[in-house]
Chains A and B, each alone.
Chain A
Amino acid sequence: MTTGPSAPFSFPHRHLLGIEGLSPDDISQLLDRAETYIDQNRQADKKQSLLRGRTIINLFFENSTRTRASFELAGKRLGGDVINMSAEWSSIKKGETLIDTAVTLNAMHPDVLIVRHPESGAVQLLSEKVDCAVVNAGDGMHEHPTQALLDALTIRLRKGRLQGLLVAICGDVAHSRVARSNIQLLNTMGARVRVVAPRTLLPAEVDRLGVEVFTDMRKGLEGVDIVMMLRLQLERMQGSYVPSLREYFHFFGLDYTKLEAAKPDALIMHPGPMNRGVEIDTEVADDIDRSVIRQQVEMGVAVRMAVLEALSQEPRNIAPAK
């Protein structure tokens, strides 16, 4: 077990509920710290004692394998005790309210609660009822801040910067918390953001979020440095938002033909899990020169370690609630 880097960094927030409200400096510091964990995660001994004695609860009201595993590893590699709770075996299904659950868990004195919930705003609501730090691991269609951070770290490692990059976020923007968090983060860090999707998958007044809107994929990808694909939920594929899988792939699936419009060294990203052949062509997804999808997963653990560290620092200089 190593002690790891321990120069404290300042993160003036009690919780991480979203990218909204974070300053460029907050984000840079989290990314800098995450970068230091990358090497540690590649060693045989991945563990350190920074969070020894701390209790971290993974509370997932929505199915997730990778995000939950990523947080669990992050907590364990920092030496914390991590337990997993999912909606199936908690009493939620027996009618206990979200707030009851929060109060119950709070009584067990956890240090960090990591929460995923199918409803927008639910994680914030829960955070108001507990004494510990809360990390939003995805709430409804609202935010998924650690995904945006890991995407940013991936980009920064490959491109050396975020400032000035042209990023296209493509697909089901309307229902995507990943898109919202990424738009916030990239805009905060001085990147230029485009969204590319059929009109039915764009939320109302999305242009007011500071993005350029494209409904033609080739035009939307023209000259971009980064292509971020979003997952299309299967139930939205047939007839309700788009007429068919075939039509969707034809116009909005990422293949080499459409990718020609992007810069030759454009990176391809996807938050996973992918629907191969729906939003992304298999060969493009597996292109080792351009696809950074597997690195994103790796960066996920590093970023989450940095987040857990940031929220566990004592004493913390916490800005007053807005």
Chain B
Amino acid sequence: MSTLFTNARLLDPASNLDRKGEILADEGKIVAVGTNLKRDGAEIVDCSGHCLAPGLVDMRAQLREPGDEHQETMATAGLAAAAGGITTVVALPNTDPVIDELALVEFIARRSRDVGLTRIRTYAAATKGLRGKELTEMGLLAGAGALAFTDGVTAIADAVVMRRALSYATNFDMLIIQHPEEPRLAEGGAMNSGEIATRLGIPGITRVAEVMMIERDLRLVEITGARYHAAHISTGEAVDAIRAAKKRGLNVTCDTAPPYFALNETAVGDYRTFAKVSPPLRSEDDRRAIVAGLRDGTIDAIASDHAPQDQESKRLPFGSAASGIVGLETLLPLALELYHNGSVPLLRVLGALAQRPAEILRLPAGKLEPGLQADFVIFDLDRPWRISVDAFHSKCRNSPFDGRPVQGCVLRTVVAGRVIHSAENPT
């Protein structure tokens, strides 16, 4: 059955498109993009002049299933993602058990189909059990649908293991995603090293822990020719290192997450554990460098970095509290702040949310192009509202953004031509 999305402001970063138009979907795919499209028998969805863009492709989220279903499940994450305008979300493999076996990759695919909302895909562990020693069965895992390999929230620290992971992944032209942090330098640390950490008496994590790992990895990428992606970068030095590597022609990409451009270390305030995140919130200079990296395209993607934590994990002294911020439902409005405050053009923001992650992960999504998945987000670009954790579909409420005034909200989320989420009071 075909569906025509009419009366939309079409926004497609890939073709630099920003104009009134309509889009026709059939059999889950985009059939045509334009104006005055044939509508014989198609169901009509009137976008009332609001924005229609490729559905968000969130390339980094912790979904907690299997193993920690008290924090999140595929079902709750699916609802939260749908509410956030996300049409594909990619899970990290740091579950219990770790996603390092074929059966688990297949389990995720099956659960995603069962939930039937946002498409849930998964990475597989780069090393067995995320222990950083033996490689996983990358070829077989890729065949089962793993999109890339990563040790999740742990760095692949051993240089030999990293070299082999990169080198072996080239057999299947697969991507390795690194949590770039020198683990010994970060050991015991709970926030960015500096004046605030010193005042609070919190062990700090030096900023160079990030760029050191990236620079080492870049050398290994050079000798292996692998595809490498640095996740959630947070420092100016990391942006510089990636910028230089891209200039040298290396096959390197990176992402960041809203906390790193919307907050800085002062958010920790008086030991606010909701602002504890890994990597830690950095200085204001770093925050600005992240924004600049997004503006010039050095930073390819914005991911939610969704990390649900229950109250028991957060209501602890700062040093003992778990790291992480829930992000699925705040990804779009926080990213749109970059546009509204004049830092990054709108199409660049949307490109970082959909087109670039889809390209990096080689998904048939992220563009308004015939033949690709009919996955869209329809949103009111300007409507002001306040983030409220009480309205979250996610099981957890660990967000430092509660109460933050934002602009831009999701009206409908469309996966394979079907509306999977519709805001309660669309204007």
A contact set with B: CB distance below 8 Å: 20, 97-99, 117, 119-122, 124-125, 139-143, 177, 180, 203-206, 208-209
Contacts and interface: CB of A to CB of B under 8 A. Distances in A.
A205 B195 contact: yes
A20 B199 CA distance: 10
Given A20-B199, A125-B315, A204-B195, 10 more contacts: A97-B312, A98-B316, A98-B317, A119-B317, A121-B201, A121-B271, A121-B317, A122-B317, A140-B202, A204-B193
Contacts of B197: 203-204
Interface in B186-234: 193-195, 197-204, 206
A124 B270 contact: yes
A99 B315 contact: yes
Contact of B198 (A97, A124, A139, A204): A204
Contact of A209 (B199, B206, B316, B320): B199
Contacts of A205: 194-195, 198
A20 B270 CA distance: 12
**Dominant secondary structure of chain A at its interface with chain B:** mixed
28 contacts: A97-B315, A117-B317, A119-B317, A119-B319, A120-B202, A120-B317, A120-B318, A121-B202, A121-B271, A121-B317, A121-B318, A122-B317, A124-B270, A125-B315, A125-B316, A125-B317, A140-B317, A140-B319, A141-B202, A141-B203, A142-B200, A180-B201, A203-B198, A204-B195, A204-B206, A205-B195, A205-B198, A208-B198
Contacts of A208: 195, 198
A285 to B, nearest CB: 27
Contacts of B271: 120-121, 124-125
B201 A139 contact: yes
Give the contact-size bracket for chain B: 20 to 34
Interface of B: 193-195, 197-204, 206, 270-271, 312, 315-320
Q: Which of B198, B271, B315, B316 lies at the interface centre, i.e. has the most chain A CB atoms within 10 A of its CB?
A: B198
A120 B195 contact: no
Q: Which of B199, B200, B203, B318 lies at the interface centre, i.e. has the most chain A CB atoms within 10 A of its CB?
A: B199
Nearest to B315: A99
A177 B201 contact: yes
Q: Which of B197, B200, B204 lies at the interface centre, i.e. has the most chain A CB atoms within 10 A of its CB?
A: B200
B340 to A, nearest CB: 30
Contacts of B315: 97, 99, 125
B237 to A, nearest CB: 16
Contacts, number: 68
A117 B316 CA distance: 12
Contacts of B194: 204-205
A143 B270 contact: no
B410 to A, nearest CB: 35
Contacts of A180: 199, 201
Contacts of A143: 201
A208 B197 CA distance: 12
A180 B196 CA distance: 12
A206 B198 contact: yes
A203 B315 CA distance: 26
Q: Which of A120, A124, A140 lies at the interface centre, i.e. has the most chain B CB atoms within 10 A of its CB?
A: A120
A98 B320 CA distance: 11
Nearest to A121: B271
Nearest to B206: A204
B92 to A, nearest CB: 27
A119 B318 contact: yes
Given A97-B316, A119-B318, A124-B271, A140 B201 contact: yes
Contacts of A120: 200-202, 271, 317-319
B310 to A, nearest CB: 12
Nearest to A174: B198
Nearest to A180: B201
A119 B200 contact: no
A97 B198 CA distance: 26
Contacts of B316: 97-98, 125
A15 to B, nearest CB: 12
A267 B333 CA distance: 59
For the complex of A and B, list the 4 residue pairs with the smallest distance between their C-beta atoms, beginning with the closest: A142-B201, A141-B201, A121-B271, A119-B317
B152 to A, nearest CB: 26
Nearest to B198: A203
Contacts of A139: 201
Q: Which of A119, A140, A143, A209 lies at the interface centre, i.e. has the most chain B CB atoms within 10 A of its CB?
A: A119
A140 to B, nearest CB: 5
A127 to B, nearest CB: 11
A119 B198 contact: no
Contacts of A141: 201-203
A122 B197 CA distance: 15
A117 B158 CA distance: 36
Contacts of A121: 200-202, 270-271, 317-319
Contacts of B206: 204
B199 to A, nearest CB: 7
Contacts of A122: 317
B283 to A, nearest CB: 10
A209 B195 contact: yes
A302 B254 CA distance: 59
Contacts of A203: 197-198, 204
A221 B195 CA distance: 24
A142 B193 CA distance: 14
